[in-house]
């Protein structure tokens, strides 16, 4: 990301908004000059430690459900007690919760028409109420850090609205431990706000693929190494 910003110069600061998926929100904070890179690294490490301890104290599981939309899954959540962890695209949802509840929800999803269920290899029920114990520790960890107002809006995971102050961002990070990542709605918000080109930073291009599934009319690029940085710099020169 820093290499891309150096190549782009002032153009990098003309982004209409930034957004990150789950842990990626911390990258967006650095991109928007909310916190220093070194502070973000320490905060991410602390977040991981807190979530791991919460997973030990209250074990859980997660699973990706393909082929059922959010509305169809609301009844399954009500019946089993699982929670929506990620709404990634129209028919790609991740659930989170107690291990037995997640297994039951997966069976119900298949019985009601889901195309596929993929158990996720994670250590806990992230983005669910089972992470509530981690919220206090994360709040305390952030107290020692200065959160500046972002240079461009950060589109929140929790409710897909723009965050424009350091205080709002602090609360978003705490809420994000237990609330759903509304990625589909975040992309819709950005498109509706006039965003027509997205740049994903990171290997794999997972978010780029999701964005194209959500809206096929937008342009999407992935920056993951020095070659892609140079290519992007050339195309936008």
Q: Is 188 annotated in the active site?
A: no
Q: How far apart are CA 61 and CA 133, in angstroms?
A: 16
Q: Enter the DSSP assignment of 34.
A: S
**Which residue out of 39, 96, 127, 186 is catalytically annotated?**
127
Q: Which residues have CB under 8 Å from 49's CB, separation 6+? A: none
Q: Is 22 annotated in the active site?
A: yes
Residue with the two structure tokens 């600061």: 13
Strands 154-155 and 197-201, by their bridges, are: unpaired
Q: Enter the DSSP assignment of 114.
A: -
Q: Which residues have CB under 8 Å from 184's CB, separation 6+? A: 87, 88, 89, 90, 210, 214
**Beta pairing partners, 83:** 96
User: Are 154 and 28 spatial neighbours (Cβ–Cβ below 8 Å)?
Assistant: yes
Dmax over Cα atoms in the chain, in whole Å? Answer: 54
Nearest to 197 by CA among 206, 182, 187: 187
> What DSSP string describes 144-192?
TS--PPPSS-EE-TTT--EE-SHHHHHHHHHHHTTS-B-HHHHHHHHHH
Catalytic residues: 22, 127
């Amino acid at each position: 990301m820093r290499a891309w910003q150096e190549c782009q110069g002032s153009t990098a600061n003309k982004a209409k908004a930034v957004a990150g998926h789950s842990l990626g929100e911390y990258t967006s904070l650095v991109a928007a000059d909310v916190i220093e890179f070194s502070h973000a690294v320490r905060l991410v490490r602390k977040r991981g430690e807190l979530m791991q301890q919460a997973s030990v104290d209250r074990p859980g599981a997660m699973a990706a459900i393909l082929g059922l939309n959010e509305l169809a899954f609301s009844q399954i959540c009500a019946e089993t007690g699982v929670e929506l962890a990620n709404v990634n695209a129209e028919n790609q949802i991740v659930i989170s919760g107690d291990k037995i509840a997640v297994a039951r929800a997966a069976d119900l999803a298949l019985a009601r028409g889901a195309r596929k269920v993929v158990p996720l290899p994670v250590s806990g029920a992230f983005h669910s109420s089972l992470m509530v114990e981690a919220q206090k520790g994360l709040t305390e960890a952030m107290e020692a850090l200065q959160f500046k107002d972002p240079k461009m809006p950060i589109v929140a995971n929790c409710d897909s609205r723009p965050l424009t102050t350091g205080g709002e961002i602090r609360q978003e990070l705490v809420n994000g431990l237990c609330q759903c990542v509304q990625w589909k709605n975040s992309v819709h918000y950005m498109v509706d706000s006039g965003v027509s080109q997205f740049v994903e930073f990171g290997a794999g291009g997972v978010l780029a693929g999701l964005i194209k599934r959500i809206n096929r009319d937008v342009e999407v690029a992935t920056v993951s190494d020095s070659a892609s940085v140079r290519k992007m710099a050339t195309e936008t020169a």
